[in-house]
Amino acid sequence: MINLKFSENISCLAKGIILIVIFTCWSNTCFGQKIAVPENIQAALLTKVLKYNPQIPQDNKIKILVVYNNNTVLDKDEFIKGLGSSMVVKAITPKDLERNISEFNVVYFMEGINGFSKMCRINKVLSVTATTRFVEEGEISLGFGIENNKPKILVNLTSLDMEGQSFSSDILRIGKIFK
């Protein structure tokens, strides 16, 4: 009788542990992911932030390349629409970047596009991304993330310097800075 009761308690304990493990894993996948800033908000922020970059001429429309592929999570068309008529925009795939980059001031990499920042550095073009990790790691200079449920400007100073770019202290003061 005692052995039967003991094995029932062990069985209940094991089931409880399994439920805790399942709930922990589920909650991490649902709530632990970084939330991307919506495309239209990124576009609106970008148009404002670029005014604080002295290397980008403000007398003409700013020229921006939007690099995407079939795997991008964010909608490139929504992002482009969010830019409005304030910029000259061209959407390209990564294979067309080298051929087009020299004619543009900014390259915006849709989420998941990486490995092309060297071209921005060579051509002294500002790199921007929807992937916060790439700014944190120094691959891309400018990005937008979420902090305290609000959009946050992310700037990597090392990457910015390698691209020959800078921002006024007004942006650096309100942004999250990485080195």
Which of 4-8, 12-16, 40-44, 153-157 is least confident? Answer: 12-16
How far apart (Å, rounded) are the C-alpha atoms in residues 48 and 77? Answer: 19
Tell me which DSSP letter residue 167 carries. Answer: -
Q: Helices in the chain by DSSP H: which ranges?
A: 2-31, 39-49, 76-83, 97-100, 117-123, 132-136, 157-162, 169-174
Tell me which DSSP letter residue 95 carries. Answer: G
How far apart (Å, rounded) are the C-alpha atoms in residues 72 and 39? Answer: 12
Distances (CA, A) of 116 to 18, 86, 113: 43, 25, 8
Tens digits of residue pLDDT in 133-168: 999 999 999 999 999 999 999 999 999 999 999 999
Q: Looking at domain 39-178, what is its CATH homologous superfamily? A: Response regulator (3.40.50.2300)
Tens digits of residue pLDDT in 62-90: 999 999 987 766 688 999 999 988 899 99
Q: Cβ atoms within 10 A of the Cβ of 82, count?
A: 18
List phi, psi (to 5°) of 29.
Answer: -75, -35
Nearest Cα residue to 91 out of 54, 55, 66 = 66
Per-residue pLDDT, 23: 39
Per-residue pLDDT, 86: 82
Kindly report the pTM of this predicted structure.
0.78
Per-domain residue ranges of the chain: 1-33, 39-178
